[in-house]
A = this chain, B = another copy of it.
Amino acid sequence: MPPIVEIRNVSGFVGQEVVVQGWLYNLRESGKLLFPLFRDGTGIIQGVVVKSAVTADVFARVRELTQESSVRVTGKVRADQRALGGFELDVSDVEVLQLIPLDHPYPITPKEHGIEFLMDHRHLWLRSVRQRAILGVRHEIIKACRDFFDERGFTLVDTPIFTPAACEGTTTLFEVNYFEDKAYLTQSGQLYNEAAAAAVGKTYCFGPTFRAEKSKTRRHLTEFWMIEPEVAFAHLDDAMTLAEELIAFVVERVLARRRAELKALERNVAPLESCKLPFPRLSYDDAMKILQEKGSEIQWGGDFGGTDETILSEKFDRPVLVHRYPSQVKAFYMAPDPARPEVALCVDVLAPEGYGEIVGGGERLADYELLVKRIEENQLPRQAFEWYLDLRRYGTVPHAGFGMGIERVVAWICGLEHVRETIPFPRMLYRLTP
C-alpha cells in the first residue's frame, strides 16, 4: 500500500502515489473532470479525478461525495504553482468511510449562519478554515509564552484552581461544593506565585481562571486562560520590561510561523509588524491629559473605561504601558510608589487597535505592617491571608509580576471582534454547551 501522508507533508512526495485520509471539504464538477477538495486537519489539497483515468465506480463514488463525508484517497502528488498550497492529487481510488446522506447533510454549509447556530455547533464549526486558523495561532501564542519563560530560567509552578479565599472581592467568584465545605475557583494564581517566587526565584503559572461576570460583552468569558510570571527581587521597571519583551516575542513568533493562518483570517499584518521594542510608557497622569484633551469625562482617581482604553491605544502604533494608577483603583497587594504613596507601582498594557488591556501587574507590597493595614482597610478576612502574610514575615524581598490574558491576546493578534472565537469551547453567561 502507498504511504499514508499528512497533507502538510505532501511536498516530500511529489511524483509518488500516497494515501490521504480526511474529509470532503468541497466538490466542483467540470464535464469529465471532478475537483474534490480534501482536508485532513493539517491542510487542504485539491484532488483531480479524470473520468477516463479511473473506473466508473471510482468516478461515481467521488461524484456523490457530500460535504464532510470521510474518505481515504489514493493518488499521485503533483506540484502545481496555481494550486491551493502548491500541490494537487491525481486521484486513482477513493474509499468512502462514511457518506453523509443528502437528506441529513452536514449542518454548516458555505452559506451564512447566525452566531447562535454556529455556537451551538461549535464542535463542528471548529472544522472551518477560519476556526482552524485561530486554533493554530492560539497554539503558537501559548507555545511562545511558555518558551519565553522556559528559556529565561523560570520554573513553572501550577497554582491551585480550588481556593479557600477570594483574591479580589467575592462578587465574581464561582462557588463549588467541596465535600462538606465551600471552595472558590481561582481568579488568579498571583498570591501563590509570590510564595513560589521566594522558593524558585522566577516562576510562572499558566492555567484556566474563572470570573462569574454577569456582563455580556465581546471581551468577557467566564473561563479563560492566563499566564502569570512573578520574579523575586524585581521592581516595577523589571515587570514592565519583562511584559514588553514577552509581547514582542509572541508577536514575532506568530509572524514567523503562522503567516498562512493570519492570511486565512484576512488579518492586516502591518500593525503587528510595527510592534517593535521598546513600547511607549505613559504615566496614568499623562494618560489622563490625553483623555481629557480628547473629551473624555474621566477625572483623576477613576479607572479607565473601554472607550478610554481605545482612545489611548489609538495614539500609538504598538502596545502602550500605562503605569502608576491611583492606588484606590488597584488591588490591595500593590506596592505604593515611595515618592508618591497615592499611586501604585503598577502597569497595564493596552493592545493597539482598540483591543484593550492585555496585561496587568506591577510591584507587590513587600512590607508586613503595610500589608496588614491594607487587608484591614479592604475588610478582607485576615485569617485567610495569614499564609500570605508569612511571605512578609519570613525573608520578604521586593518582587513583581503580571498576568496576561491569552484570549485577549488571541483576539488582538487574529483581529477578532469577539473573544468567543478565541477559545475552542467558550463559556459565557448564557453559554455552557456544547
Contact = CB atoms under 8 A, between A and B. Distances in A.
B395 A160 contact: no
Contacts of A8: 153
Interface stretch (A75-83, A272-280, A302-310, A422-430): A422-430
A313 interface: no
A156 interface: yes
A195 interface: yes
Interface stretch (A136-144, A246-254, A346-354): A136-144
Contacts of A174: 176-178
Given A174-B178, A179-B212, A143 B156 contact: yes
Interface string A139-176: 10011001000100101111111111000000000111
- Count this chain's copies in the assembly: 2
A214 B174 CA distance: 22
A164 B390 contact: no
Interface in A1-49: 4, 6, 8, 21-23, 40-42
A328 interface: no
A123 interface: yes
A387 B106 CA distance: 13
Q: Point out which of A179, A429, A432 has the most chain B C-beta atoms below 10 A from its C-beta.
A: A432
Interface stretch (A197-205, A263-271, A287-295, A369-377): A197-205
A183 interface: yes
Interface residues of A, number: 89
Given A162-B223, A199-B131, A199-B135, A395 B143 contact: no
B233 A158 contact: no
Nearest to A179: B429
A196 B424 contact: yes
Contacts of A424: 157-160, 192, 196
Contacts of A396: 70, 97-98
A160 B185 CA distance: 14
Interface SS, A side: mixed
- Name which of A6, A123, A222, A225 has the most chain B CB atoms within 10 A of its CB: A123
Interface string A402-434: 000000000000000000000111010100111
Contact of A155 (B139, B153, B158, B427): B139
A163 B409 CA distance: 24
A208 interface: yes
B146 A223 contact: no
7 contacts: A8-B153, A42-B200, A123-B195, A139-B156, A174-B177, A174-B178, A179-B214
Given A22-B201, A142-B156, A183-B432, 13 more contacts: A6-B153, A8-B153, A41-B155, A42-B153, A97-B397, A126-B200, A158-B424, A161-B161, A162-B223, A164-B433, A174-B178, A176-B185, A179-B214
